[in-house]
Amino acid sequence: MSTVDLLVGKGLLSRDVPLGPLTTYKTGGPARLFAEIGTRDDLDDLISSGLTSTCEVLVLGRGSNLLVSDEGFDGLVVHLVDDFLGVDVEEEIVTAGGAAPLSRVARTAVDSGLTGLEFFVGIPGSVGGAVRQNAGCFGVETADRLLEASIVDLGTGERRLAKVSDLELSYRHSNVGARHLVESASFQARRGDPDGGRRLMREVTRWRKENQPGGTLNAGSVFKNPPDVAAGELIDRLGLKGMRVGDVAVSEKHANFFVAGPNATAADIFRLVADVKDTVFERSGTILEPEIQFVGFEK
């Protein structure tokens, strides 16, 4: 019996799992292999099998900045659940599992009388994704609050407790690679007024509703901001709001959000991203770098 068959029999691994439902675009094909990991022992068993070192690996969080091709992903998807969803508070330090939603981190901190993490409520991702991309909004980045992260090398099984200074964090960048998995992370908060924290979270949420196309199928910001201008402002300035490919269009509300309709394909979205990038370069000379991760597309 093969290693894959053994892990499928143990319930640790599944074949041909649709990935579209696990992304905010709700489109894309299946993963050839899919591991739902609920405990550290599960993770160690998966690594010991050798699959994480021999297969192409995708660590899947909340799917909020991800586009999977219509053909799917011919590799191994690792998806954290259960034990990796927790959020704990000790003194002024908030420690959360890699799969914990950032909004839960923000609310747990405020409910515990801590402030400083309210900005997380405006980011629809997980702790692991925030560390890997140095996620941020409203002038605050993960790097500003992160203390350390427990990171597993899926190729070797090595665990390391990385300080924030070890991670080479910059704008939407870290040295956390594709074969690295963030098990947990700790953040520095401070004692403060819970009511003030809740007001700030409401302000962040209200701003998102007023300025971003909520209630739609999108993956958040499509492009990173160039050094001198916001990507959305540049796309808007060039008159590209409403630009369309198939059933996906540049949002009329925020030009750095591309909104998909129910009949959109991943190919439509991928093509629109490429068309907008090419048009912006042709008209302005600015090269836009996608913030979205593309999976299963030809490189």
172 is annotated as an active-site residue: yes
- Cβ distance 91 to 67 under 8 Å? no
User: Considering the chain, what percentage of its residues have pLDDT values greater than 70?
Assistant: 100
- Cβ distance 250 to 242 under 8 Å? yes
Catalytic residue among 172, 179, 186, 251: 172
Where does the chain hold its CATH 3.90.78.10 domain(s)? 215-295
State how far Cα 291 lies from the chain centre. 10
Q: Coil, helix or strand for 134?
A: coil
Query: Residue 193 — pLDDT band, cuts 50, 70, 90?
Result: very high
pLDDT averaged over the chain? 96
Structure-token pair, residue 1: 């019996």
Catalytic residue among 112, 184, 221, 251: 221
Where does the chain hold its CATH 3.30.43.10 domain(s)? 3-82
Average pLDDT of the residues in 140-150 = 97
156 has pLDDT over 90: yes
* Neighbouring C-beta atoms of residue 199, cutoff 10 Å: 13
Structure confidence at residue 299 (pLDDT): 64
Structure confidence at residue 215 (pLDDT): 86
Structure confidence at residue 72 (pLDDT): 98
113 has pLDDT over 70: yes
**CATH code of the domain made up of 215-295:** 3.90.78.10
291 is annotated as an active-site residue: yes
CATH for 3-82, among 3.10.290.10, 3.40.50.720, 3.40.50.150, 3.30.43.10? Answer: 3.30.43.10
Q: Which residue has the higher pLDDT, 117 or 298?
A: 117
Structure confidence at residue 235 (pLDDT): 98
285 has pLDDT over 70: yes
Average pLDDT of the residues in 68-85 = 98
**CATH code of the domain made up of 88-147+172-210:** 3.30.465.10
Where does the chain hold its CATH 3.30.465.10 domain(s)? 88-147+172-210
Average pLDDT of the residues in 46-69 = 96
Q: Which residue has the higher pLDDT, 10 or 77?
A: 77
